[in-house]
Amino acid sequence: MTLEISDKARAVLERPVLCDLATIRPDGSPQVNPMWFKFDGEFLWFTHTNYRQKFKNIAHDPRVAISIIDPENRYDYVEVRGVVEKIEDDPEATMYQLLSEWYDGTPVTPPDAKDRVKIAVRPTKVLTH
């Protein structure tokens, strides 16, 4: 079954805006960080390293929540609930390069490229507020 995403939500998801990605720590407490992302129509893609806490959180519990403020109206936002469905090694940092170009206009390779992973979140619920 394909998740229905409203035009209003899609308009925000398809722009280079920061999101807040919340994960669940192994002790059950939440962790939230601003992140770059790219929506491909099916997944929200992120990049991260394979040794930081957020990666450990996702490995422990793949459920996530994402909040994105609409840049056209700061009182509107999109909430995405989802599950990490794919984690792929990315030692060439291709996702980081794609995201840095999407957000800043220049594909950059970070110094921690060898430790990079691509993370795909499948939305299970998308709400606009």
Using one digit for the tens of pLDDT, what is the confidence trace for 85-124? 999 999 999 999 999 999 999 999 999 999 999 999 999 9
pTM: 0.95
d(CA 35, CA 70): 15
Contact of 67 with 97, CB cutoff 8 Å = no
Amino acid 73: pLDDT: 92
- For the chain, give every domain's residue range: 7-128
Amino acid 39: pLDDT: 97
Q: Is the pLDDT of residue 3 over 90?
A: no
Written out in words, the top-level CATH class of the domain with range 7-128 is: mainly beta
Identify the three-state secondary structure at position 45: strand
Residues facing 56 on adjacent strands: none
d(CA 59, CA 41): 24
> Mean pLDDT, to the nearest integer, of 42-50?
97
Using one digit for the tens of pLDDT, what is the confidence trace for 49-90? 999 999 999 999 999 999 999 999 999 999 999 999 999 999
